[in-house]
Amino acid sequence: MNRIVIVGHGMAGARLAAELHARRGDYKITVYGAERHRAYNRIMLSNLLAGRADELDVTLTEAAGHGIDVRSGLAVTAIEPATRTVRTADGTATEYDHLVLATGSRAVVPDLPGLTGVDGPAGLPDRVAVFRTLDDCRRILAAAAGARTALVLGGGLLGLEAARGLAARGLDVRVVHKVGQLMERQLDATASAVLARTLAGLGVGTELAAAAESVTATTDGVRLRLGDGRELDADLLVLACGVRPDTDLARRAGLRVGRGVMVDDRMATSDPHIWAIGDCAEHDGVVTGLVAPAWEQAQVLARVLAGDDPGARYRPLPTVTRLKAAGIDLAAMGDTRPGADGQTEELSFADPARGTYARLLIRDDRLTGAIMLGDNPAVGTVIQLFDRGGPVPADRRALLLGRAVGGTVAAPATSPALMPDAATVCQCNTVSKGALVRCWRAGARSVAEVVAATRATTGCGSCTDAVTGIVDWLSSVDSDVEVPA
């Protein structure tokens, strides 16, 4: 019997354990999780912060299964490759045949006066917190309970989600970002400006091109001093300054480490008995930090370790970044830099007053990049065209404006009956409409049963309404007509 040890009980580690368990191979699975909790959906923490979900809502139902030995609250402190052994904080030694690192990433604490020398989130002043884990979320909520104002340092994806969550609780929030535009890795300057205006309408102010110089925290509040000499006061400061792959164990074990633990197409490290997936893994020079690639890596590795498909290989798919916060709908994908060779078509439309912006980059009739901000009914169509590499409509305005132009319909089907079977409903888990229908035909008769069978909605949650609508449609037509295969 193969002994498989998984270090890390987050979204990647839990998914791998579930994938292995489903294959019922001849192995024993042990999962070590440094956090005390059951595995949870990190993407949904912004909903917890906003008060739109509770801790039970973000818990992963597949965190443990029959035959999986999950040891929560027990950190692995050392790997001994020569004896194929891991050692934990309580002195336990566990031997392995295959070791999988799913250690994720850690929040970056900026090296600022007032924070210098802080050893992780636990060492931060009482009114300062990072936004990464469930414990971080609890810390923020405890501080927010008696607060009226908050500062968020960092205008990337996590920072904006934290800011919107706190604003939803009634706090006056300001985002401080050292770069001149929000989410600069995904957005252009125009999209950033439209997003900033939308945020302002939701109670979130922005201070751009504002470098933090120092932090002063007392029992009464926090003061953030900026490089231009200004001082911003608040009851709470949330640090959202990026994350760093957690590679400490791998480095001390002598594995090859770049930005992350370096892996090949099978997710194998430089040690033939050790593998890595998720945020801690670096594949082909890329550390994704997104859930969909982590889950795809878990599936590939499960096929390899279970032996049912030893030739399985990880092939990265184009990724879509979604900002899901109440009142904001943003999708960014691909390369949105202007084409330098003049061969790339570029179309854009902005309506700042309505919080709408769309930008498409097209080459050889295929989407190479897009930004879709605001209420645009074409967003689903744009994402599907980008995912599949399908040809764009001859009249590009249909995608850009999200309405029929010149006979071309860009909006998605108004009824599930009109949706193509191959249409992807859940991007995080790559679940198509056809997969939902097949699940229904196999006996699932509720949203919960369909979710349990397909995992749709368990990523970012943005497809929940669509999945519910398809299940409602299936329920309504099932007694009258045969549901299409």
State the pLDDT at residue 414.
Answer: 53
State the pLDDT at residue 176.
Answer: 98
State the pLDDT at residue 337.
Answer: 77
pLDDT greater than 80 at residue 484: no
pLDDT greater than 60 at residue 66: no
As a dihedral over the C-alpha atoms of residue 22, residue 23, residue 29, residue 33, rounded to 10 degrees, the angle is -40
Helix (H) or strand (E) run with residue 381 in it: helix 379-388
Q: Nearest-CA neighbor of 379 among 350, 358, 348?
A: 358
Residue bearing tokens 């099932």 = 478
Write down all domains in the chain, each with its CATH number in brackets: 2-104+246-306 (3.50.50.60), 121-243 (3.50.50.60), 335-401 (no CATH), 416-478 (1.10.10.1100)
Residue 68 · residue 21 · CB < 8 Å: yes
Higher pLDDT, 453 or 15: 15
Kindly report which listed range (81-85, 126-130, 304-308, 425-429) carries the lowest average pLDDT score.
Answer: 425-429
State the pLDDT at residue 340.
Answer: 52
Take residue 449 and report the two structure tokens written for it.
Answer: 């049963």
State the pLDDT at residue 73.
Answer: 93
Average confidence score pLDDT of the chain: 88
State the pLDDT at residue 7.
Answer: 98
pLDDT greater than 80 at residue 393: yes
pTM above 0.85, yes or no: yes
b or e along 16-52 (b: 16 or more beta carbons within 10 Å of the residue's beta carbon)? bbbbbbeeebebebbbbbbbebbbbbbbbbbbbbbee
pLDDT band at 389 (very low <50, low <70, confident <90, very high): confident
pLDDT digits (tens, 9 = 90+) for 20-38: 998 888 899 999 999 998 8
Higher pLDDT, 171 or 60: 171
State the pLDDT at residue 415.
Answer: 64
pLDDT band at 141 (very low <50, low <70, confident <90, very high): very high
pLDDT digits (tens, 9 = 90+) for 408-428: 444 445 567 656 677 777 877
